[in-house]
Structure 1
Amino acid sequence: MISITSGFDSGNIAVLSENPVPGGTSFDLAIVKDHQSDFYQWFHFRLTGAKGTAVTLRITNAGGAAYPDGWKDYRACVSADRQDWRRVPTRYADGVLTISITPEADSVWLAYFAPYSMERHHDLVARIAATPGVTHERLGGTLDGQDLDLLVLGEGPKRVWLYARQHPGESMAEWWMEGALEMLADCHDPVARSLRRRATFHIVPNMNPDGSRRGHLRTNAAGVNLNREWHDPNPEKSPEVFHVLNRMDATGIDFAMDVHGDEAIPHAFIAGFEGIPNWTEGQGRLYHLFRDTLARRTPDFQTRNGYPVAGKGKANLSMSTNQLANRFGCVAMTLEMPFKDNADLPDPDHGWSPERSKQLGRECLGALHEILDQLPER
């Protein structure tokens, strides 16, 4: 018997109907909205009992998703072992996303992007926290009672904050974190050793554990978009931002990176803080220096494609990058990675992948190493 289920960590799909077709079967599906929110686009489900059978999966409400432009040229991710995620033929027309697959295994998992489970998150935190020179702290609890984890390493005077997955469906952000943390904790890596000597890193690998576990695209357990809460976080509806920003106020910040994924743009890029009231030319110069250094280091990052730049005084201070740059006078940025692929360097089998996300994490640290000494003394 062929079945589709999603009752697991980060699972999301509703089965509307199964319809036998010549040579196979077809399912009509729907993505479930984030709790108390109209956002939806993340899907993650298991297909069992279909080995060798041609299966058509029709996500019928794709046209109403948060970012329907994200379906153009998109290909879904599939894995039989939940380790190697590959892309499968996918098309979008008339508001329906259609995935075609003939599984080679009795069970396969399909997802919008390679998932990063909460169990893997706990394994990552435990592994890095056990490394000499790393301290771990629970900053507070989420609305669902999960822990908000902070890892601190390094002994240098520069204050660096890295945080990811404010939007839980952007799982590539925590893959990036895994790559960055593995590098920073490697006592044999000379760049990591130099960074730890010159800076202290405060790292939140997952800002939204509740949304991650619930299978949300963009919000926490209360249906709140955390990246619109930084001007005035409320412990009753956005405790994640409330706890992190309180600690940031205690430490101060010289450099901050907020790690995300973008549904529509097939490139990796960064967005800055142009338009903040307290903008300085020095901040802008260092932001562009980091951006251009990263582009020089890796062809998986570019500067031509990205978001429009806010006009003078028009920055949205409810977003973390703008709030932190304005509040601390630091260099802050939002890193975006694609759900699709890097159109300049495509990989037909994997598209943008966990491995590329991890490698970009390492390259971002390499770029920071090059420009770190130019950050002003405070």
Structure 2
Amino acid sequence: MNDRPMTAAATTPLAINAAFDGGNIRLVRVDGDRIDLEIVKDRDSDYFQWFYFRVAGGAGRTLTYRILNAGSSAYPFGWPGYKARASTDRQAWRMIETRYADGVLEFDFTAETDLAWFAYFAPYTMEMHAALIARTALLPGVTHRELGQSLDGQAIDAFTIGTGPKQVWIYGRQHPGESMTEWWMEGALERLTDSADPVTATLLEKATFHVVPNMNPDGTYRGHLRTNAAGVNLNREWATPSAEKSPEVLCVRNAMDATGVDVAMDIHGDEAIPANFIAGYEGIPSWTDAHGEKFYDYGRRLAAHTPDFQTEKGYPKSAPGTANLSMSTNQLAERFGAVSMTLEMPFKDHDANPDAEYGWSPERSKQLAHAMLETLADVIDAI
């Protein structure tokens, strides 16, 4: 947890609070209708960008919120064109007009109710995660395992679904501030447990799915952007994970070693690029064009399957022999010969198919999971 409850000066009834599951903000000052704030750094780290806080006592007022240290955040180039999310019920998270200038992120909000919440993206808290785990574990055909524990002692939960010979590992939330990833996971689990769906039935005959919805429960609860309780970026630990720094990766990779991996999907969010895309494993020592073509074919098919995916925008490809094997997608492609991919979803919107009210949203994240599983069904025989 980043902060305790904070109340503005006695002359105003406003109260700014981030002392809850996933919360992150620090109150600097209240000056009339202007509220100055700072995002708190991840513990033992310089990373920060995720914010999530509530405001009490603002009914009937138009307040201006200014995040003063936005320009020093992990990815300041992501702020131009970004719109903060606001909610009065913590269910619907709408975009609000947001300005970024001189290192300050600023937005106005006129509250019609006493309470309002603001976040970098629609939150997916550890309480929501616990509910997802509980209801999924009760479904037929699902096996739950606790693969290990985080540094704070939280469970690293995994589900096994299906009986087919192909081993598909889906894991997300290595970077806890990328909350769209667990919305995607919710959608994937809903589809994989739909016993009436013919696509699901085919997939589960051909593949066994191993799903880890949240790789970083400590960072999620603490309101971190990118790291675990030790300030470690888990997606730089896959070459040499350790019980001391990254037990979350260690227990998952050990489980992968026990099953092998044919397909790996690492689910993420990207701060700057207004599009959904996948990154691959170009540059690994064992790269072959035939292996890489399986990854490219999947991306082309997915783009043809849904307007919420594209292949034009994305990260630069690694040059031959330069892949960072501490990143999971590269490590698993090299270690197992897996068709391995990193999905990146936007904090902004998928500009090729925009939504003016919600932008990229929880529901669209869930639907993209469905589309990715449908596309996987088309190619699983060739992998």
Q: TM-score, normalised by structure 1?
A: 0.97
CA deviation digits over 1:19-78, x for unaligned, max 9?
A: 01xxxx111100000000000000000011101200000000000000001101111001
Matches within 5 A, 1:138-217: 138-217=146-225
Q: Which residue of 1 aligns with 2:4?
A: none
Of the candidates 22, 39, 47, which is equivalent to residue 10 of structure 1? 22
Q: Which residue of 2 aligns with 1:111?
A: 119
**Whole-Å Cα distance in 1 between the matches of residues 16 and 350 of structure 2?**
30
Give the letter for the 2:372 counterpart.
C
Q: Which residue of 1 aligns with 2:349?
A: 341
Of the candidates 359, 367, 374, which is equivalent to residue 375 of structure 2? 367
Give the letter for the 1:81 counterpart.
D
Matches within 5 A, 1:215-254: 215-254=223-262
**Whole-Å Cα distance in 1 between the matches of residues 356 and 15 of structure 2?**
28
Q: Which consecutive residues of structure 2, in runs of 5 or more, have no partner in the other structure?
A: 1-12
Give the secondary structure class of the aligned counterpart of 2:324.
Answer: coil
Q: Which consecutive residues of structure 1, in runs of 5 or more, have no partner in the other structure?
A: none
> Alpha-carbon deviation of 1:285?
1.2
**Whole-Å Cα distance in 2 between the matches of residues 283 and 48 of structure 1?**
55
Give the secondary structure class of the aligned counterpart of 1:314.
Answer: coil
Matches within 5 A, 1:297-316: 297-316=305-324
**Whole-Å Cα distance in 2 between the matches of residues 104 and 157 of structure 1?**
55
Give the secondary structure class of the aligned counterpart of 1:192.
Answer: helix
**Whole-Å Cα distance in 2 between the matches of residues 51 and 357 of structure 1?**
31
**Whole-Å Cα distance in 1 between the matches of residues 319 and 97 of structure 2?**
40
Give the letter for the 2:17 counterpart.
T
Give the secondary structure class of the aligned counterpart of 2:199.
Answer: helix
> Alpha-carbon deviation of 1:109?
0.8
**Whole-Å Cα distance in 1 between the matches of residues 138 and 288 of structure 2?**
40
Give the letter for the 2:227 counterpart.
T
Give the letter for the 2:310 counterpart.
Q
**Whole-Å Cα distance in 2 between the matches of residues 126 and 151 of structure 1?**
11
> Alpha-carbon deviation of 1:348?
1.1
Q: Which residue of 1 aligns with 2:3?
A: none
**Whole-Å Cα distance in 1 between the matches of residues 335 and 180 of structure 2?**
28
- 1:49 maps to 2:57: yes
Of the candidates 62, 68, 77, which is equivalent to residue 60 of structure 1? 68
CA deviation digits over 1:295-345, x for unaligned, max 9?
A: 001111000000000000000000000000000011000000000001111
**Whole-Å Cα distance in 2 between the matches of residues 250 and 315 of structure 1?**
24
> Alpha-carbon deviation of 1:282?
2.3
**Whole-Å Cα distance in 1 between the matches of residues 158 and 64 of structure 2?**
42
> Alpha-carbon deviation of 1:108?
1.0
Give the secondary structure class of the aligned counterpart of 1:15.
Answer: strand
> Percentage identity across aligned positions?
60
Q: Which residue of 2 aligns with 1:317?
A: 325
Q: Which residue of 2 aligns with 1:282?
A: 290
- How many residue pairs are counted as aligned between the two chains? 371
Give the secondary structure class of the aligned counterpart of 2:381.
Answer: helix
CA deviation digits over 1:242-263, x for unaligned, max 9?
A: 0000000010000000000000
Give the secondary structure class of the aligned counterpart of 2:267.
Answer: strand
**Whole-Å Cα distance in 1 between the matches of residues 350 and 153 of structure 2?**
37
**Whole-Å Cα distance in 2 between the matches of residues 62 and 247 of structure 1?**
39
- 1:120 maps to 2:128: yes
**Whole-Å Cα distance in 1 between the matches of residues 253 and 192 of structure 2?**
23
CA RMSD, Structure 1 to Structure 2 (Å): 0.6
Give the secondary structure class of the aligned counterpart of 1:301.
Answer: coil
Deviates more, 1:311-320 or 1:103-112: 103-112
CA deviation digits over 1:56-101, x for unaligned, max 9?
A: 0000000000000110111100111111110111100000000110
**Whole-Å Cα distance in 1 between the matches of residues 179 and 247 of structure 2?**
21
**Whole-Å Cα distance in 2 between the matches of residues 93 and 159 of structure 1?**
48
Q: Which residue of 1 aligns with 2:77?
A: 69
> Alpha-carbon deviation of 1:280?
2.0
**Whole-Å Cα distance in 1 between the matches of residues 377 and 137 of structure 2?**
22
Give the letter for the 1:30 counterpart.
E
> Alpha-carbon deviation of 1:189?
1.0
**Whole-Å Cα distance in 1 between the matches of residues 258 and 365 of structure 2?**
30
CA deviation digits over 1:163-215, x for unaligned, max 9?
A: 00100000000000000100100101111111111100000000000000000
Q: TM-score, normalised by structure 2?
A: 0.96
> Alpha-carbon deviation of 1:126?
1.1
